Amino acid sequence: MKKQLYVWLAIALLLVPCHTYAAQTKYQWNLADIYASENDFERDYQAVDDALSKLSSYEGKLTRAANVAKLFALNERIARKLEKLSLYAHLKQDLNIEDETAARLKAKVETLASDYAAKTAFIEPELLSLSEHTLDKLQKSKPLKPYHYYFEELRERKKHTLSKREEQLLAKLSPIMSDPENIYNNAARGDYDPPSIRTPDGKMVSLTNENYTKALEHPDRSYRKRAFQTFFQSYEAIENTSAATLYASVKADELYAKARKYQSGLDAALSADDVPKQVFTNLISTVHDHLPVLHRYVELRKKALGVDRIHSYDMYVSLVDEAVVKKMKFPIETAQTLLLEGLKPLGDDYIKNVRRAFEQRWLDVYPRPKKYTGGYNTCSYDTHPFILLNYDQSLDGLLTIAHEIGHAMNSVYTNKTQPYHYSGQSIFTAEVASTANEWLMMDYFLKQAKTDEEKLYLLNQQIDQIRGTLYTQVMYSEFEQAIHDKVRQGGSLTPNELNELWLRLLKKYFGPAYASDPEAARGWLRIPHFYDAFYVYKYATSLAASFELVKQMKADKTGQATKRYLQFLSAGTSDDPIRLLQKAGVDMTSPKPLANLLSYFDFLVREMEQLLKKEGRL
């Protein structure tokens, strides 16, 4: 059985702390909620270590339902303890990277997890080697009734399972599959040195990703242009290597798909998530139909900034006075109050659990020296969620809390309802729970806006969220599809070919008001997700699904839409993600959810246009 030992749901937005806050215990994790002492940790560690040898006694005996049921029960007992051990060690280290005890415990757990993986490696290959008749008998047997959907998935995978010898060969070759990404990472992070540039106030800064993002938001256009040109010109040094590694990665994906009897790498990736191909094709075609709306937004930005053409370095600078942004600050106590108000449409029980998250120290809120700098939510089946933040009191920071609370509540409802083997969430559905909270909070803020400038700021935030998560990720997906098709048909991927394809897509997506600078052609080089084939489309589908569900909850006065949504949060992996969403009230095999979201984007752009006209800026 494939059960991840821990899940790190890292968000794309990494927060940069603006201030150092005094430690406040009530806003720090209490890891004693996992283990009260190291002795308790060692007790579970020893229990897992002692139980591992019992797993192999079932090897070769999985034709009988009673044996399979006993193995699954033993595997669950071990995995649940191992999950807690892993969670504790990782969280402890993330609070202080120099914590020697945490490093020691983490190393011990990783060794134990490796032993566990080796001991359980026989389970799925043995089950997959069984005849359809035997699998059918196992699936229908009384002891294995709780695993009905697991066997349904297993039998589907069997269609793409090879002979024992071929599977062994693929297993031996599998480490090579990650080599292109490893080489790319070594080039992009190890060999690559970010260039330096002088800021308008005379300081020399290194154009790390963080500083480059800040430069693109700077009001000085000449500085933005210099930063953009310097940044992308510097990538010429690793352009050939990156093209070669991407080609190798795509070629490996397509060869692997062909070996497993899939028509393409896209089909293989979609099959892994139980997602029909029409979900992907609908996504591309529906966004194509709504590209004129994005073109109008770019035109609107061009007029508001008073420039002849919009360049890449003009897409992120704020259209709102900086003073308005500075006013949008939310101390954590205020953020808590606003979240409890904004998430009310999800019902009393949901709000009760959000309150618990703050009162019972599920959140580690403030940045501290040696603490992990990102943001995530994680938990084990037998613990409450743990949310790591580096809160800076900004609106983005508040929305990050809402996002991670969405993930946390998904785990709360799932773990309360589902057995262990159906806990967790697929990536396709996980982001629905988090982005639904962002939609609710932004809707709340827009209704509470006191001035036109505040509303303009919020509209800009919402527009950029949709542009970045839907339009941009779909452009990435179209790029992926094109390079996979090219390689599958025997073509190559040279730097020039990749650059030309990227520029064509930029022109297509951003329209006539956009100037596609030659330097922007290297944009593909900065997307590590391309080494995880057909991953990014899920951001777009999740955003559309959550928008549709929130829209239904706001319109339904009977509470049935909210009830269905909470059942969705409780479903875990008990069914395929498309069916789970359909039960909740949204059909992602239809273009309608995407069209509804893109119509909302159109509405936001028109609202922004009216406000800018009112202010005399158009």
Residues with catalytic function: 404
Site of tokens 């953020």 = 335
β-strand partners of 377: 9, 387
Instruction: State the alpha helices, DSSP H only, in 178-290.
Output: 179-185, 209-216, 221-234, 239-259, 265-272, 277-289
Site of tokens 């590590």 = 528
User: CB 152: neighbour CB atoms within 10 A?
Assistant: 14
Q: Decide: 81 and 156 in contact? Cβ < 8 Å.
A: no
- How far apart CA 546 and CA 554 sit, in angstroms, is 12
Nearest CA-CA partner of 442 in 459, 466, 464, 467? 459
How far CA 563 is from CA of 345, 346, 495, 569, 583, in Å, comes to 11, 9, 51, 10, 11
Number of H helices, E strands in the chain: 26, 6
Token pair for 376 = 């995530």
Distance of CA 136 to the CA centre of its chain: 35
**Strand, helix or coil at 378?**
strand
Nearest CA-CA partner of 490 in 197, 254, 226? 254
Residue 113 Ramachandran class (φ > 0 left, ψ -120 to 50 alpha, else beta) = alpha
**Strand, helix or coil at 305?**
helix
DSSP-assigned states of every residue in 139-157 = HHSSTTGGGHHHHHHHHHH
**Taking CA 213 as the corner, what is the angle to CA 233 and CA 288, rounded to the nearest 5 degrees?**
85
Instruction: Name the burial class of residue 539, with classes exposed (0-12), middle (13-18) and buried (19+) by CB atoms within 10 angstroms of its CB.
Output: buried
- How far apart CA 400 and CA 442 sit, in angstroms, is 12
- How far apart CA 410 and CA 420 sit, in angstroms, is 14
Site of tokens 């501290």 = 368
